[in-house]
């Protein structure tokens, strides 16, 4: 059965992992990422970018700077005929230094609050959803809710492969997308 929605991590899954990416000039789509996102769009699979942004809590950049790069990503996607339904992000980190953000929370992966909110708003069934990411925290979030999960071997995926148990492992986002929609 085709999925209705995909929750996709950003850094290391959609774009090159460069450590706290927050400037447009540092944002670089991974090879095949736009093709993967377009493939989901062509199959009417809703797209949710789900990203931890600890750099905000740690004072490396602001929410406004995060929004600028998010807007850039969305513009590129739109020009490639890709519809991102929503970008969900957690600006918190318990080891942060910025007041109001330096907290433990329920929205930071592997916690599931952001996903649960989307499920409730859209009346999705867990079997209709998939989560794709390059870190254990991504996979653990999806697993906690009973979702199918894909660990991509980009970003931190290769080094975290042995520490997590995804439903599937894929070379990259495009390989995951092809598997999910059933094309080779």
Annotated active-site positions, please? Answer: 9, 11
pLDDT in tens, 76-108: 999 999 999 999 999 999 999 999 999 999 999
Token pair for 106: 């329920």
Mean local confidence (pLDDT), 67-73: 98
Q: Whole-model pTM above 0.95?
A: yes
Q: Check if the beta carbon of residue 113 is closer than 8 Å to that of residue 107.
A: yes
Q: For position 184, what pLDDT does the model report?
A: 65
Distance, in Å, from the CA atom of 108 to the CA atom of 141, rounded to the nearest integer, reads: 9
d(CA 60, CA 79): 29
Compute how many other C-beta atoms are within 10 angstroms of the C-beta atom of residue 26: 13
CB atoms within 10 A of CB 79: 9
**Number of separate domains in the chain:** 1
Q: Which domain, by its residues, includes 39?
A: 5-181
Distance between CA atoms of residues 136 and 177, nearest Å: 19
Rounded to an integer, what distance in angstroms lies between the CA atom of residue 5 and that of residue 115?
11
Host H or E run for residue 75: helix 63-79
- CATH assignment at residue 40: 3.40.50.1000
């Amino acid at each position: 059965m085709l999925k209705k929605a995909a929750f996709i991590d950003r850094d290391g899954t959609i774009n090159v992992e460069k450590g706290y990416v927050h400037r447009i000039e540092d944002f670089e789509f991974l090879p095949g990422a736009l093709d993967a996102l377009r493939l989901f769009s062509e199959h009417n699979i809703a797209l949710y970018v789900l990203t931890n942004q600890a750099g905000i809590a740690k004072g490396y950049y602001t929410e406004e700077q995060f929004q600028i790069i998010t807007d850039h990503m969305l513009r590129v996607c739109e020009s490639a005929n890709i519809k991102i339904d929503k970008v969900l992000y957690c600006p918190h980190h318990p080891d942060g230094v910025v007041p109001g953000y330096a907290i433990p929370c329920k929205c930071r992966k592997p916690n599931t609050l952001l996903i649960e909110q989307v499920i409730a708003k859209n009346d999705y069934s867990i079997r209709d959803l998939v989560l794709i990411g390059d870190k254990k925290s991504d996979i653990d979030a999806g697993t906690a809710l009973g979702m199918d999960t894909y660990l991509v071997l980009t970003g931190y995926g290769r080094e975290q492969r042995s520490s997590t148990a995804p439903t599937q492992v894929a070379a990259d986002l495009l390989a995951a997308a092809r598997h999910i929609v059933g094309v080779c």
